[in-house]
Amino acid sequence: MKQSGWLVDDVIRKQIPVVDLAAAYNMLSGNTVVPSPGPTLSPTVSPVVTPKISFTTTTGNLVISIRGYQGQKFSAKIGNSWISSPALMNTSGLDYTKIVRKSVSKSTVKFEAYIDGKKVASGSIRIR
């Protein structure tokens, strides 16, 4: 199987053996086969995004930044009210979702954030 396959380069590792099942079958059944060089692959590298939700403030606003959860359902309890988004999408011009919610200045607000119904963040924050 090693003799009938080819080698590919990964982003990290080089010369990784790949099995060509058709060539291996032909080789084992006695057919003379010249191993193909395999497909020409150029790996697509996507940046690894660590999912993160952060709560910050600006004057009179609570700002929620959500990165790495695109397409998933988001909901948050802020004080005694709820906000939700059925499918997160990046805010235009940004690589994350940005939600701004008016709040009473100089107040402390408790929050809980959920992705697909699972709690992923909680705490309290002082609004400037």
- Strands, E assignment, the chain: 6-8, 16-18, 52-58, 61-67, 74-78, 81-85, 97-102, 108-115, 118-126
pLDDT in tens, 44-63: 555 677 899 999 998 889 99
- pTM attached to this predicted model: 0.62
Domains (range + CATH), the chain: 1-44 (no CATH), 52-126 (2.60.40.10)
Query: What is the reported pLDDT for 110?
Result: 93
Q: Rounded to 10 degrees, what is the CA torsion of 12, 70, 61, 112? A: -100
* Tokens (6 digits) for 21: 């099942």
**Tens digits of per-residue pLDDT, 72-101?**
999 999 989 999 999 999 898 888 999 999
